[in-house]
Chains A and B, each alone.
Chain A
Amino acid sequence: MNRVGQAVKKFLIEYSMLLVLLGLCLFFSIATLDTQIPTGSRGAEQLLPRMREITHSGGTILVVAKSSPEDREFTSFIKEESGFSDAQVLFLDGDSPRVVRAELERRASDGSVASAIVGTRSVSHWSLLLDRGEKYPPWADVPLIFPRKATSSNFLTPGNLKNVAGQSAVIAIIAIGMTLVIITGGIDLSVGSLVALSAVTAAMAMRDFFGGTDADWSGICAAVGVAVCLAALVGTLSGAMITWFGMPPFIVTLATMSIARGLAQILAEGQSVYQVPESFSWLAVGKPLGVPNEVVVMLVLYGAAHLMMTKTTLGRWFYAVGSNREAARLSGVPVALVLMIAYVASGALAGVGGVLEASRLKSGSPLYGVMLELDVITAVVVGGTSLAGGEGKIFGTLCGALAIAVIRNGMNLMNIESYTQGVVMGALILLAVFVDSLKKGQFVALVRRISARP
C-alpha cells in the first residue's frame, strides 16, 4: 500500500506538468460548453451517421446549403469525410432558393425523388423546403434532416484539438532546441529571428532558383534544405563564439538575433515573398496521416529528442555539462562539442520551424517570429526545465508548449481579449515555477518556518 502511494507520489512529482495540462484541458472543456444548433463542420459531423444509414440502404440524398463560409465548411466536410459518390449525394450548395426550386420541380416531374433532404441551419426555415408537399407532392414524404440542438464543448472537438496541436507545433519544435541549450546552462534568443530568416530564405530560393510557383518537389526540398542549413549555420556561429571565446550566451544570441532579423529584411528587401508553389503548403498542413504534417514532424522530433536525452551518451553529456561544467570537463566530457551541438540543433530546429511557418502561410516574411523566443522560453520553463541548467525533460517541454497553445486557444474560444490573455500567460509562468518549488520542498519549508514563528 505504502509502496503504491510512493509510486503514485513519484509519478505525480515527475509528471506534474502533464497534470496541469490535463487540468487546463478539463477546465476549457467545461468553460466552453455551449447549447446551440451546430453549424459548419460540426453540424455536418452530427448528421453524417444518419446520412450513412440512408446511403447504405441504397437511398440518395439532396444536400442544400447557402454560400456563407459556415455552410461551405458544412458541405466540404461532408465531401471530404464521407466518401459518398456523386450518384448517392447531390450537392446544391451556394445556390439561391431558385435553383433548389428548379431541381425539386425537375425531380418531381421525372419521378427521381431523393430519399432525404439534408440542410444546414441557415436553410432550415426556407418555406420552399418546409412546405414542399404542397407544391411538389412526390416530395411530401421525403424527410428533412437539419442539425439539432446539442450541448457540446467548443474546445473538446476533434477539429479544435487538431487546431491546438497545429498551433503549438512550431513553438514546440523550436522548444526542443531551446531545451537542449537551457539544459547546458545557456539560452538562445535568436530563434525568433531565425524563423524569419529561414522562412524568407526558403521562399526566395523557390522564387529565384527553382521556378517560383511552378517549382517541383525537388526544388521545394532543395529550398527547404538551404533554409534549414542557413539557420543551423547561424546557430554554429553563436555556438562557436560561446564555446571558443567564452562569451556569455545571452549577449551572443542577442547579437545573432539582431543579425538574423536584419539579414532576413535585407534578403527580402522588407517585403513578403509570395511566389511559392501551391504544393509547398502541403509540408505543414497536408494530412496524409490524418493529422497535419507539422504535428507529425513535431511528434517525430519529440520522440527522437526524448530518446536522445534519456538513452544516449550524448544526452547524459548535456545534463553533465549543464550541471557542473568543470566536473564534466574533468570527467572527459567533450564540453565544447556538446555546447556546439546544442546551439546548432537550436538553430536548425528554428529553421525547421521557419519553413513550416512559411509553408502554412504560403509565403515568407521577415516579420515572422517576432518575440517568438519568449514564447519558446516560456514553454521550456513551464515544462520544468531549470534556467540554471542541468535539469529538465524533453517531455516536460512538450507539455509546456501544449499548455500554452491550450490556454491561447481556450481563451479565444471564450472570447477573452488579448490583454487579459497576457495576464493569464504570466500567471501560468508563475504557476509552473511554483509547482517546481513545491517539488523541491522549498515551499513546505517556508510554511513550516512561518508557522513556527512565535
Chain B
Amino acid sequence: MCKSTTDAQQPILKMRGICKAYPGVQALGGVDLDLSSGEILGLVGENGAGKSTLMKVLSGATYPDAGQIFLHQRPCELESPRRARDSGIAIIHQEMSLIPTLRVWENMFLASRGWVRRAEEVEETRKLVGLLGVDIDPHKLCRDLSVAEQQVVEIAAALQIDAQVLILDEPTTALSAREAERLQKLLGKLKQDGMAIIYISHRLEEILEWTDRVQVLRDGCTEDMFHTSQIERADLIRSMVGEDLVGEFPPRSRSKEQVLLSVSGLGRGNDVRSVCFDVKAGEIVGITGLVGSGRSELLRLLCGADVATEGTMMIDGTALRPRSPREALEQGVCMLPEDRKADGLFLERSVRENFAVPNLHRFSRFGLIREAAESAAFRRYASQMKLASDRVESRAVTLSGGNQQKLLFARWLCRECQVILLDEPTRGIDVAARYEIYQLVRMLTDEGKAVVMVSSDLSEVMGMANRILVMRHGTIAAEFENQSSLSQRQIMDVAFGNESS
C-alpha cells in the first residue's frame, strides 16, 4: 500500500554513534539512524532494546553520553525538549505525558507562548482530535480520560506542532482497530506532505503495513535494516529475537463446566449498564470494543476499584459485592490494570518491593517479613516471566515499558487468584514476551482459573479467547463462541454498531 520513497534524496535527520549508559545497563551502544522527509521508518526491537531511549535522545528528554545529531546536514545540540520542539521534532512518548489536572485543550497548547486564545484553541483541539475519529470533549480533565483517549490526545497534541519530524513511540497500544486505521490514514497523509516519521510498535502488522523502512535494534545496537516491501513477518521476528518463534498462540484448552465467575445485571451510571456473563473454570473470555465502550470500566467494577451501583456477581458460588479492591482480592479476584504507571507501579520503589506489595501476607509471619521467602518467590516468578533478576534492587521507573508489564504480571501470578482480570495484558510487550505471556495465561487456565481479558488487539482476542464479548456504549452488544468460522469483520461490525446494515 505504501510506496517506497526515493532514497536518493538527502536525509533530513542523521544520528551518528549515539551512546547512552544507565547505571548497570548500556541502553544504547553507538546507534546510527537516517531519516528522509516523506518517509515512515519503523523502529522495532525487544523490550529494553533501547528504542525509547534513542527517541528520548532525539527529542531532548535525555542527553546522550556520546554521538551527534544532524538536522538538515547541520550538527545540532538538542539539550532540552523545548529546543527539540523548536527544531521541528514532535514526539508522542510511550508513557503518558499529559498533565492530569489540566483540561484537554490546555494540555494541547501547553507549549504555546503569549496570551491564551481560548476559543480558538478549543476549536483547534476539537478539530485535531476529530481527525482520529474520536469524540472527546476538549473541556474534560485529562485525568478523567481512559488510556486510549489519552493516547488520542497525545497524538493530536503532537500534530498541532508544525513539525518536520514526528516520533510516535507505541501510540496504538490501547487503541482499537478503528482508531488505529484512522491513525494509519493520517500518517499516510502527513507523509505525502513531506513529514518524516519514526514509528515504534510491537504490533508487527502495523510495522509491515505502514512503514517504508524498518530498523531493528537489539541490546542497544542496530541489528538490521530492511526495506519493508522486501521482508516477511518471520524475518522481522528472527531479527528481533534472534530465533524463530514456534507459533503465535498456544493451543486452546477445553474449559470445565464449573462456573467460577458469574455476573448479572452489573452496572454503574452510564459507563456500564446491566452486564451479564459467566466465566467457567479454565476459560478465557475476551472482551473487546471501541475506545470508550466501557471495557475497562467493567473490569474496574469486577475488581472492586469502583463500586457497582446495581447487579450482583458470584465467585465460585458465593455472592460478592466488592466495595474495595482489598475485598475482591480476598475473594480471589485480581486485575492487571490498563495504565501501569498510574494504577500499577510504585515507580520510585525497587522492583522487589513492587513485586511484593500485594503478596506480603505470603512472606510474613505476624507482620514481620521473611526476606528469604520474599527473594525466593521473586526469583521464581521473575524467571518464569524471563525478567532479569539482576535488577531486583533498581527502581521500577528504570525498567523498559515491556519489562514493567512483566513485573506486574509476576506480581499477580504470585497472588494466585481464582479469577484473573487482564486489561490489555500485552500492552507494550514484544513478540517473544507476548508469546510467553500467552503461554502463562494458558497455564493459568489449565490450572482451572478463570480469565477475563480485555484487549484492543483483535487477533489476540481471537487467538486466545474461548468466547468473545463485544461491548458498545457500556453494554454487551454481542457474544461469540470463538470458532474458526468467526471473522474479524463480524466482531468489528458489532463494535461499530452497524450489524444490521
Contact = CB atoms under 8 A, between A and B. Distances in A.
Interface of A: 311-314, 316-317, 319-320, 323-324, 326-334, 386, 390-391, 445, 448-449, 452-454
A316 B353 CA distance: 8
A197 to B, nearest CB: 31
The secondary-structure label for the interface of chain A is: helix
What 10 A-B pairs are tightest by C-beta distance, nearest first? A323-B346, A331-B358, A332-B329, A332-B326, A313-B360, A331-B357, A312-B367, A449-B79, A330-B325, A313-B367
A262 to B, nearest CB: 34
B358 A324 contact: no
Given A323-B349, A448-B63, A333 B326 contact: yes
A390 B368 CA distance: 20
A324 B345 contact: yes
Interface string B342-355: 11111111000100
Contacts of B364: 312-313
Nearest to B62: A445
B289 to A, nearest CB: 22
A295 to B, nearest CB: 27
A449 B78 CA distance: 10
Interface of B: 63, 77, 79-80, 303, 305, 324-326, 329-330, 335, 337, 342-349, 353, 356-358, 360-361, 364, 367-369, 371, 411
Nearest to A330: B325
Pick from A311, A317, A332, A334 the residue with the most CB of B within 10 Å.
Answer: A332
A449 B344 CA distance: 33
Given A313-B364, A329-B325, A330-B344, A319 B353 contact: yes
Pick from A313, A326, A328, A331 the residue with the most CB of B within 10 Å.
Answer: A331
A328 to B, nearest CB: 7
Given A313-B367, A449-B63, A452-B77, A330 B349 contact: no
Given A452-B79, A453-B79, A323 B344 contact: no
Given A312-B369, A313-B367, A326-B342, A454 B326 contact: no
B145 to A, nearest CB: 15
A80 B3 CA distance: 97
Contacts of B343: 326-327, 330
Contacts of B305: 329-330
Given A320-B346, A327-B342, 10 more contacts: A312-B364, A317-B360, A319-B346, A324-B345, A324-B346, A327-B343, A331-B325, A331-B329, A332-B326, A390-B349
A331 B342 CA distance: 13
B121 to A, nearest CB: 30
Given A313-B369, A323-B348, A452 B63 contact: yes
B367 A332 contact: no
Pick from A313, A317, A326, A453 the residue with the most CB of B within 10 Å.
Answer: A313
B381 to A, nearest CB: 15
Contacts of B342: 324, 326-327
B368 A312 contact: yes
B56 to A, nearest CB: 12
Nearest to B411: A331
Contact of A327 (B345, B360, B371): B345
Contacts of A448: 63
Nearest to A334: B326
A449 B343 CA distance: 33
Given A453-B77, A454-B77, A333 B357 contact: yes
B79 A391 contact: no
Nearest to A308: B367
A390 B325 contact: no
13 contacts: A312-B368, A313-B361, A313-B368, A314-B367, A317-B357, A319-B346, A320-B349, A327-B346, A329-B326, A330-B305, A330-B343, A331-B357, A331-B358
B387 to A, nearest CB: 18
Nearest to B364: A313
Contacts of B361: 313
Contacts of B353: 316, 319-320
Contacts of A326: 342-343
A263 to B, nearest CB: 34
B349 A328 contact: no
Nearest to A336: B324
Contacts of B347: 323-324
Contacts of A324: 342, 345-347
Nearest to B370: A311
A346 to B, nearest CB: 20
Contacts of A311: 368-369, 371
A320 B303 CA distance: 19
B487 to A, nearest CB: 36
B357 A390 contact: no
A197 B371 CA distance: 41
Contacts of A452: 63, 77, 79
A174 B357 CA distance: 28
Contacts of B325: 329-332
Contact of B346 (A312, A390, A453): A390
Contact of A391 (B324, B348, B357): B348
A202 to B, nearest CB: 31
B393 to A, nearest CB: 9
A453 B353 CA distance: 40
Nearest to B305: A330
Contacts of B358: 331-333
Pick from A314, A329, A330 the residue with the most CB of B within 10 Å.
Answer: A330
B206 to A, nearest CB: 29
Contacts of A314: 367
